[in-house]
Amino acid sequence: MADLPPWANDARLRSNFLDPLRLALALAVMVGHAYDLLSGQVQTDPIGRLAGNATSLSSLAVDGFFSLSGFLVTASFLRSRGWRDFLSRRARRIYPAFALANLWPPLLAPVLGLAAVSFSGPLTQSWFSLLHTLVLEGFDPRLPFPANPMHAFNASLWTIRYEATCYLLCGLVLWAPKGRRALTAGVLLALSALVSLTIVGHHQLATWALSHVPSLFDPVWRRFLPDFGAGAVLFLYREKVPRSRTLAAVCFGLLVTAMLVAPSALGVVVPVTLTYLLFFVAFAEPNAVVQRVFARVGDLSYGTYLYAFPVQQAAITVLGAQATPMTVLALSVPPTLVLAALSWWLVERRLLRRAVAA
């Protein structure tokens, strides 16, 4: 066991820096968004400018979330008692906190004097919000921050349904016998292509399906599936992938070189290099102080990601002409962490403990 890399040691899988690292990624998203929300454009932070807008700090942080999820969700499925157990755990982890973050904007918008929401269809505002929540899609009151460079209430939530779909795809592939997992993945891709080609036309339901049900041939998957897959592959081959400073240096060099010289290659370079770098950091020698702190604080990464965007938008509204990336961060990070802590201790942790007990 001493010769195994740290991510192949079951004891180290319970003793690592994954929680601090995920929180750092969520805060990195906030840093990137502080620039984007003030400029009214995406990928405008320093890394975005360095990479010619081919990526950004917030984009790399989201890529990192998918890589970590690929590793952890693969482990979760292989250790589950079956599909029901796996889906129950995944649903408890992602749905309740998402629903809470998604359902209160329609109630809060009028209180803050934000722009009113109006829909021409028969669905009421509450039912429309509920429908978006069921498909794990963020619900935005129409132009709730009209004075800000960007108007969206919570544009970060769009990635959640892609992550949930990755959970299902991961389970389907791993459910197949080992020798047929590649074939299963190919069949899923073929079925996705068929769905994309057949659900066409101007029918309202078809239009809704194409825009709300992620297809594997959606261009977004060219980014997220490799990230998630890299994390999953690292778990499946965790005994054969060493933790090496040399490999980490090579990965870092390739990532920086791609950003500076060949940004178009980032889609190929990021999944492998960033995944390795993240796990190199996550499985460094354990630090008792850091682990005690995060054992008491809890996993605030998901709540931080869910609430950061609207809090930053509110900070920009309050600051007005005095808003800069640093002032927005100074005003928005503390309340975001408070909301994340409430989400963890009142919602996420309780439901996860019930799932374990069940």
Q: What is the DSSP letter of 348?
A: I
Q: For the chain, which residues make up each domain, given as ranges?
A: 16-357
Provide the whole-model pTM. 0.88
Q: Tell me: the pLDDT tens digits for 119-129?
A: 444 345 556 66
Any residues with CB less than 8 A from the CB of 74 and at least 6 apart, and which? 170, 174, 231, 232, 235, 236
- 44 phi and psi, to 5 degrees? -110, 5
pLDDT digits (tens, 9 = 90+) for 229-277: 999 999 999 999 999 999 999 999 999 999 999 998 998 999 999 999 9
| Cα(37)–Cα(240) distance, integer angstroms | 43
Q: What pLDDT, on the 0 to 100 scale, is given for residue 270?
A: 95
Give the CB-side neighbour count of residue 192, counting CA atoms within 13 A: 16
pLDDT at position 180, please?
85
Q: Stretch 6-12: mean pLDDT, rounded?
A: 84
